[in-house]
Amino acid sequence: MQPQTPDILRLIASKLCPPNSRAAHVMVLTGAGISAESGLRTFRGSERDMFTLWKDFDPQTLATPEAFGRDPEMVSRWYDWRRLGCLAAEPNAGHLALARLERFITGNGGSFTLLTQNVDRLHQRAGSRNVVELHGSIIEWRCTRTGMLSTPPTTAFESFPPKSAAGALLRPNVVWFGEMLPEAALAAAADGLERVEVFFSIGTSSVVYPAAGFVHQANAAGAFTVEINAEDTPISRAVDRTIRGAAGTILPALLQQLGNP
Ligand code: BV8
pLDDT in tens, 132-162: 999 999 999 999 999 999 999 999 999 999 9
Mean pLDDT of 47-67: 67
Mean pLDDT of 116-130: 98
Q: Which sign, positive or negative, has the C-alpha torsion 226, 230, 232, 234?
A: negative
Cβ–ligand 1 contact at 246 (below 6 Å): yes
Note the pLDDT of residue 2.
Answer: 80
Please choose from 30, 34, 43, 200 the residue to mutate so as to test ligand 1's pocket, defined by most ligand atoms within 8 A of CB: 43
Cβ–ligand 1 contact at 32 (below 6 Å): yes
Cβ–ligand 1 contact at 44 (below 6 Å): yes
Note the pLDDT of residue 45.
Answer: 62
Task: Categorize the per-residue pLDDT at 56 as very low, low, confident or very high, splitting at 50, 70 and 90.
Answer: low
The helix/strand/coil state of 130 is coil
Lowest mean pLDDT among 4-18, 49-63, 164-178: 49-63
Task: Categorize the per-residue pLDDT at 35 as very low, low, confident or very high, splitting at 50, 70 and 90.
Answer: very high
Give CA–CA dist 132/117, Å, rounded: 9
**pTM for the full model?**
0.95
